[in-house]
Amino acid sequence: MPVIRDIMSRVVISIRPEATLLSAVKTLTRHHLSGAPVVTLQGEVIGFVSEPDLMDVLFDAEARKSAVSNYMSRDVYVVNSQDSLVTAAKMLTIYNIRRLPVVANGRFVGVVTRRDLLAYALQHDEPLAEPLLELIPELCEFA
């Protein structure tokens, strides 16, 4: 069964917590992103910054100089590189988010997006299977 490591993007943009909001806006607009994980020098994902978090830049000159860590969302969902694609698909759907930071041994290694999962689906005829349904065939009657 494929795992997140097999389909994730390894070359990704992240933002440092000490970066200013203005530099974060520049980074996201330059790369046409709506958000990015906030990652320490040690590779730990500590937050996520998205366009709504950055809107103060439009109205507040002082906010432009403020650290991203003051504005980022601290409730960030991450997945492990060894997790199943089903895990990523469920999280993206349940939390209505577009991308999930991927970690391996606690360090940021990539991002998996809705588009990554859709691209996988286009290349494979079989839909993803629920692991529990594979383990307990009787549940298939109710699925």
pLDDT along the chain (143 residues), means of 10: 91 94 95 95 96 87 93 94 93 92 96 94 78 51 49
Which CATH number belongs to the domain containing residue 71 in this structure? 3.10.580.10
Token pair, residue 55, equals 């809107």
Interhelix angle 85-94/114-123, rounded to 10 degrees, is: 130
Asked if residue 16 lies in contact with residue 38, where contact means CB atoms within 8 angstroms, the answer is yes
Range of the domain at 40: 4-141
H-helix or E-strand spanning residue 26: helix 21-30
Which amino acid would we find at residue 131?
P
pLDDT at 130: 62
Q: What is the DSSP letter of 128?
A: P
pLDDT at 142: 46
Whole-model pTM: value is 0.83
pLDDT at 1: 77
pLDDT at 119: 93
Question: Number of folded domains in the chain?
Answer: 1
Which residues face 39 on adjacent strands? 45
Q: What is the DSSP letter of 38?
A: E
